[in-house]
Structures are given as C-alpha cells and as structure tokens.
A and B are shown apart, each in its own frame.
Chain A
C-alpha cells in the first residue's frame, strides 16, 4: 500500500476530504465532552449522602391563617400534628424542621469559638453553618450516628438562654475544623457542644469533608416560613403513609397549604435536575450528531465512491484484485479518520476548556478518548466497507466503459 499515492488522491479531492476530516474532529470533540458531562452528572447522583433517602418523606406546609402568628397556638397544632403523624402505620420517627438537607443556600449562621479574637482568619465556610432547629426526634428521623458526646433531649430546648448557654450538637466535619482535638464541652458563639454526629450531605455543591451544620432543640413555629415535617417511614409502607399524611395534618387544622409531599429520593434527584438535564441536552445533540454522521457516510458512499467507479475500473483492468480495491478504499477512509482523530484531540481539549469557562466539567480520560476514536474508526470502516465491496464487485468492463 502506497501512502504517498493515497495522500495524493486525497489531495485531489481536497475540499471534500478536509470537510470530512473537520467534521470527524468536531464530532469527536462534541461526543467525548458530552459523555464527560453525562458521567459527571451520574457521579454526582451516585455520591453517598449519609441519609436514608428511601425512608424519608417530607411534607412542606404553610399556615394560611393569621392565627398561626400566635406561637403558642402554632405550638399546640404542631404537637398534635406530630402525634397524629407518628401514629400512622409504618412511621418510625417524625420531626419538624426549618429546612431539609441536600440544598444550596437555606438557613445559615456563622460559628466560631466564643473566644475567637475579632481579627482571626477563619475558614470562609464557617460563615455559612446550616441551622437545624428541631425536636429531639430529629436524630431518629435522620438516623444520625453519634461520634462523640450525647444527643439532645427536651432538657436542651432553647428558651431564653443567650447564645453560649445553649446546648448544640454539631457535624463531624465542623467539629474537626473548629476543634481538631475534641469538640465536646467546648463553647461556641451558638452554644455549648454536647455531641458530634457523623456528616451527611447538607450542600452537595461543597466538599463532602466541609459539611458544616448544627442541631439545637429550638423554634420551629414561625408562620412566615415553610414548615417541613420529615418522616422516617418503613419503605414498604411509604406509599400508604404518603397517601395519608396530607389528610392527617389537615384533619388537625385545615388552614394550611400543603405545598408539596415528596420522598428524599425524589428530592435528591430533583436537586441534580439541572445537571442531568444539561447532560440530557448534550445527549440529544450527540444523537443528532450521529444522524448527521449517518447522512454523511451514506452520502459519501452514495455519491463520492460511485464517482470513483471509473478509477476503480481502470485499476481492475490494470490487474488489481478485488481485495486490493477494497483495501484501497478502506485505507483511504482510515487515513481520513486518523487525520480526523488527530485534529479531534485538539478539539476535545479545546472544547473542554471552552465549556470549563462556563460550567464545571472534568477532563476527559485517556481511555474515554481512545474508546471514542475506536468507535469512530469502527463505524467509519463499516460504513465504507459496504459501498467499497459493492464497487469492487463491478466488472472492469463496465467500469471502464466511459473512459
């Protein structure tokens, strides 16, 4: 096989060939980066959350009546709600909350040791420590595992104490950051640390080792904000509980708007909706790209290779075997693919950098690039082989008739 002759023949059809090479390169760039995006989105979804996603059910509600501004009234309704919800068959624990994990934003406070000097350089994220005011049942609801100290009880309820007199439980990563040599007994501006629990993912956008949050037994009756009831439910009875929960609450007091009822698994999927959605868009583009590629190979076979009939005929007449012709046409395709793959590497990296300026995207792995090049090679070969085989079947007599 003569590479020089091949190159020459390609140069003769400079425009068509370079279009094909560029098209291949762009296709590679798009497809590889789309796959990277899809893999990124999948990885985020698979990251462990430290929460029993399948067992948690959330009810979001707003009081619609002004009567709830009276916090004693609100409290009496709340207690009744909790009692009724906990009596539902399949409910293991229930707790009221002011926010739920797997979020970005929400209720945050700064936290530092009570004796921190004002000019100390603190970790920036310590300004955004998520607050979980709830009842002692929150530990059972989230199935929190104690690392040190004790859990909170009703004796720890916040009444009138100032910040540092309160008792709080903090997350493990927060404890490690604030007090690397033991947090229990230390006093922060938000209260005395009486316990440390294992981390769960509060904000998936942050490092799993930087999940800062704390618990206190405190105010959950503010009528101006969403009320969250979180139920820990036996997964087998989830559907039944889900069905009954809304009416249970409205049965206690009807002037509430139950804005949504969802499981934590749904909440988790929805949180990443934007990422999976974008990956979906790119997947759609890849599909279209494949359609276009299919059109391209079809057209190439249909219109360009048949144009070469004459040349092939001459070759056959001059003694080239069918096998030689086949190999010739195929190697032409391989050369084009090779060029496309080389330029495609540049496009893959360039496109990855271009996207990186707009969104988070990891770099493609060598294996992925190699796989994509292989697939392009294989599909190109198959797409070329059939028309090439058909062309090679043409008897030289017919092929050379028009010479």
Chain B
C-alpha cells in the first residue's frame, strides 16, 4: 500500500511542479537558516567535558586586600591564596593555571624562525584533570621541571606531526624538553578559561609547569593593587597580584563542603591578620554552572536565534497556505475517490506519505542551505569561526525538522480536504 501511496505522491508532485517546488524551497530556507543558527548555539551551549563536568569546580574566592566599592574580583587569585588552598590538601586534586604567550622553535632546527604560541602554565595535574588527549608521551609530573607538553597543531608546525617526545624546545630563548604531545583537542567552549574572549579560540600550543613558567618570567594578564608593582613574574609569588585560576576535582557533596569550609577558613585567617577588609565570598561552580555564570553563549547568536525561529514559523505558515491551494485544486479528485469508496483514513495516510516524501526532499535541500548559511554567518561574524561546526546530531536534527515542518504544514490542508462535500464537488 505504501508503495502505491508513494507512486501517487510522485504523480502529484509532477502534476504541481511549481507549487511543490515552492513548498520545498520555502521550508528548506526556513529550516536551513534555523539549523545553521542552532548548530552554532548548540556548540556554544554544549558541555565540553560531559564525563566530568559535575566533578570539576572553579574556585571563586574574594581576597582583595584593599577596601573597595568596586565589583569583587573572585575569578582569579593571588599565588599565595592558591598555594594556601593547594597545600592544605583539602581535595585530592587541585590545580592552578594561567595563560601566557611565548615564541618557540625546535632547538635543533636549522631555521631560526620562532613561532608565536599560546601558552598555558599549570600545575602538573592539570592535563589529567581536564582529560587532555595525549598522542605521544604523557604530562609533566613536577611543577618545577623543565618538561613541557606540545599541542597537536604546534607539533605539526615544528615537527611535521611526528613523535617529538624527548626533543628540545626553545621557549623565549630558554631550553625545555618535550615529554608529551597532545592529539587534536577541540575544546568548545574551553571551559577552564572563559574570559578575555578565549572560550572559543582553541586550546593552547604549549603547556608548561607553573613554577617553571614563573621562574622563566612568562607574563600573565594581571590585576594588581596600586601599591603592588612587580618586575618579574617570580616576584608575584608574594605580592598582591591576581592572575591565577583555580580548579578542583571533588567527587561528592562531603568533599565539596570540606573544600568550601577550607576556603572560608582561608578568608577568615586573612581577615584576622588584617589583610582582608572586604566581604567574604567563597564559591564553587561546576563546569556547566561556570559556563552559565560567565555567559559563554554569545548574545548576538541568541538574538539571531529568536529571529530565525520566527522566520521558520513564517515559512511553515507560507507552506501551509500553498498546500491548502494544492489540495483545494484537487477537491474534485478527492470527492471522486471518496465516492468510489476510499475511506477518510486512507486519504489521511496518502496525505501523510505525500507530506513525508516532500519533507525528505526539503530536508536534503535544507541541509545544503544550512551549510551555506553557516559559512555566511562566519563571513559576517568572524569570531564564530571556531564555533561554526555542524555535527552529525545537527544534521539529523535539521533533516528531522524539515520532515516534521513539512508534515505539520500539510496537516491542516489534508485534514480539510478529506471533508469535502462529495455531491457538491462532483456536480461540477
């Protein structure tokens, strides 16, 4: 029976080529724009580390040493705060890290070209904590060692993608040993650093032990109290310089409470020592809470999403109106069929098959259009480049959406056409 319905559908499509062409195009445009936008939104709002996102917590603590009426700085901390929390061993695994930049080259290379690279200085547990994928070797295991880990792209640039473990790397003129090379690591969003527009720029090229980074004076973007100047990063260890982000891995509520009370203990001890005149703020945000707290989803994309969904509604209305015209044009045929004994149920089935068939076609076109619109979005908003990816899930979703909207559009016309008054129509 299905085959017969399908044959009928193809026949109908051939009978009204312009009309069906327009219906398919209308829905494909609507779904295409919507899907492209949804893909971007989906990437922005996705959980970058689902297997661990509920166990990793960002440490927010207020320790600003001068009385102030400005918004409290809680997302970054001083070296001394970080160390107090880390060395107390209130959790199994806690890391500190900051972002830097360096020029690097293969120390044995004949070329003197140095490559600009993004650097993450971190405690040695960091790469394990955030599940960084290793291609060769493993992480450094000592915060003072001169061992480093190279990102996949930089390894491609410097060593043509070959195993470079054991090789010597020159970083800002100093020598280091490569102990690990990462695989491609597209972390979207890069949850461990969501400020300064870094959340959608890709992971770093070079990972380096934090104490070594400080000794080698790898600069950070910092906030300081006006009295605390510093010349080298090593000096920031005992000054009021704020730049470190802290993350901690906690597996249950008891551990979480224990860590929060440790943070409060630290704040109270600073207060007692007269070094902290402000309001105590101690918070832990898990990965998804942290992403929501920092609003990583671009408001512009969200605003455009509102527009595209309205647009989709318009397209559905339009397609429905077109299909209504198509079904009223065949009222005579329908009445004839009914007179010959075709049941309303069968007419509905035929309508659904025809809708589905049209839906499949518009689904395919909409995927093509979605791809085009994704590129247009990146052209107009270059910042989206790293986010504009369409995964399998989005392709399937887009296709299903086209199918559903087509069925939806044909629903009313089909249902109404079943109820034609047989005698009136056949009289003509």
A residues within 8 Å of B by Cβ?
15-16, 19-20, 22-23, 26-27, 29-30, 33-34, 62, 64-67, 69, 105, 109-110, 118-119, 121-122, 124, 127, 163, 189, 222, 224-225, 255, 257, 259, 273-274, 277-278, 280-282, 284-285, 288-289, 291-292, 295-296, 298-300, 302-304, 307, 351, 354-355, 358-359, 402
In the complex, A163 Cα to B227 Cα: how many Å? 9
Chain B: number of interface residues, binned into ranges: 35 or more
A64 and B26 in contact, given A30-B311, A280-B380, A281-B304 (Cβ under 8 angstroms): no
Of the listed stretches B55-63, B137-145, B267-275, B323-331, name the one at the interface; the rest are far from the partner chain: B323-331
Is B194 part of the contact surface with A, judged by Cβ < 8 Å?
A: no
Q: Are B299 and A358 in contact (CB under 8 A)?
A: yes
Closest to B229 in A: A163
Q: Are B314 and A307 in contact (CB under 8 A)?
A: no
Is B54 part of the contact surface with A, judged by Cβ < 8 Å?
A: no
In the complex, A329 Cα to B295 Cα: how many Å? 52
Q: Which 5 A-B pairs have the closest CB atoms?
A: A66-B173, A224-B219, A303-B325, A64-B103, A277-B381
Task: Provide the residues of chain B in CB contact with A105, threshold 8 Å.
Answer: 196
Q: Are A292 and B314 in contact (CB under 8 A)?
A: yes
Task: Provide the residues of chain B in CB contact with A402, threshold 8 Å.
Answer: 428
Tell me the smallest distance from the CB of B19 to a CB of chain A, in Å. 7
In the complex, A282 Cα to B311 Cα: how many Å? 11
Partner of A303 from the list B26, B329, B383 (CB cut-off 8 Å) is: B329
Is B111 part of the contact surface with A, judged by Cβ < 8 Å?
A: no
In the complex, A298 Cα to B25 Cα: how many Å? 14
In the complex, A202 Cα to B209 Cα: how many Å? 37
Q: Are B116 and A109 in contact (CB under 8 A)?
A: no
Task: Provide the residues of chain A in CB contact with B219, threshold 8 Å.
Answer: 222, 224-225
In the complex, A16 Cα to B29 Cα: how many Å? 21
In the complex, A110 Cα to B33 Cα: how many Å? 46
A23 and B314 in contact, given A122-B69, A295-B22, A355-B303 (Cβ under 8 angstroms): yes
Is B300 part of the contact surface with A, judged by Cβ < 8 Å?
A: yes
Is B174 part of the contact surface with A, judged by Cβ < 8 Å?
A: yes
B residues within 8 Å of A by Cβ?
18-19, 22, 25-26, 29-30, 33, 67-70, 101, 103, 114, 116, 172-174, 196, 217-219, 226, 299-300, 302-304, 306-308, 310-311, 313-315, 317-318, 320-322, 324-326, 328-329, 373, 376-377, 380-383, 412, 416, 428
Q: Are B322 and A303 in contact (CB under 8 A)?
A: yes
Tell me the smallest distance from the CB of A192 to a CB of chain B, in Å. 16
Q: Are A295 and B173 in contact (CB under 8 A)?
A: no
Closest to B224 in A: A109
Partner of B321 from the list A64, A163, A296 (CB cut-off 8 Å) is: A296
Partner of A257 from the list B29, B114, B321, B326 (CB cut-off 8 Å) is: B114
A26 and B313 in contact, given A66-B173, A285-B308, A292-B26 (Cβ under 8 angstroms): yes
Q: Are A304 and B325 in contact (CB under 8 A)?
A: yes
A19 and B320 in contact, given A64-B114, A274-B381, A299-B325 (Cβ under 8 angstroms): yes
Task: Provide the residues of chain A in CB contact with B325, threshold 8 Å.
Answer: 299, 302-304, 307
Q: Are A288 and B103 in contact (CB under 8 A)?
A: no
18 more A-B residue pairs beyond the given contacts A15-B412, A105-B196, A300-B321, with a C-beta to C-beta distance below 8 A: A19-B317, A19-B321, A23-B321, A26-B314, A62-B103, A66-B173, A224-B101, A257-B103, A257-B114, A277-B381, A281-B381, A282-B304, A284-B373, A295-B25, A296-B321, A302-B18, A303-B322, A303-B325
Q: Are B226 and A189 in contact (CB under 8 A)?
A: yes
Q: Are B318 and A296 in contact (CB under 8 A)?
A: yes
Task: Provide the residues of chain A in CB contact with B314, threshold 8 Å.
Answer: 23, 26-27, 30, 289, 292
Q: Are B22 and A351 in contact (CB under 8 A)?
A: no
Q: Are B22 and A299 in contact (CB under 8 A)?
A: yes
In the complex, A282 Cα to B33 Cα: how many Å? 11
Task: Provide the residues of chain A in CB contact with B315, threshold 8 Å.
Answer: 292
Tell me the smallest distance from the CB of B72 to a CB of chain A, in Å. 12
Task: Provide the residues of chain A in CB contact with B218, threshold 8 Å.
Answer: 224
Tell me the smallest distance from the CB of A265 to a CB of chain B, in Å. 18
Q: Are A66 and B172 in contact (CB under 8 A)?
A: yes
Closest to A403 in B: B428
In the complex, A22 Cα to B318 Cα: how many Å? 10
The 13 sampled A-B contact pairs (Cβ below 8 Å) are A34-B307, A64-B114, A119-B67, A124-B69, A124-B70, A127-B68, A255-B114, A274-B381, A277-B381, A278-B380, A281-B376, A292-B29, A303-B326
A29 and B173 in contact, given A295-B318, A307-B328, A359-B299 (Cβ under 8 angstroms): no
Tell me the smallest distance from the CB of A331 to a CB of chain B, in Å. 20
In the complex, A52 Cα to B308 Cα: how many Å? 40
Tell me the smallest distance from the CB of B269 to a CB of chain A, in Å. 23
Task: Provide the residues of chain B in CB contact with A300, threshold 8 Å.
Answer: 321
Tell me the smallest distance from the CB of B279 to a CB of chain A, in Å. 15
Q: Are B320 and A288 in contact (CB under 8 A)?
A: no
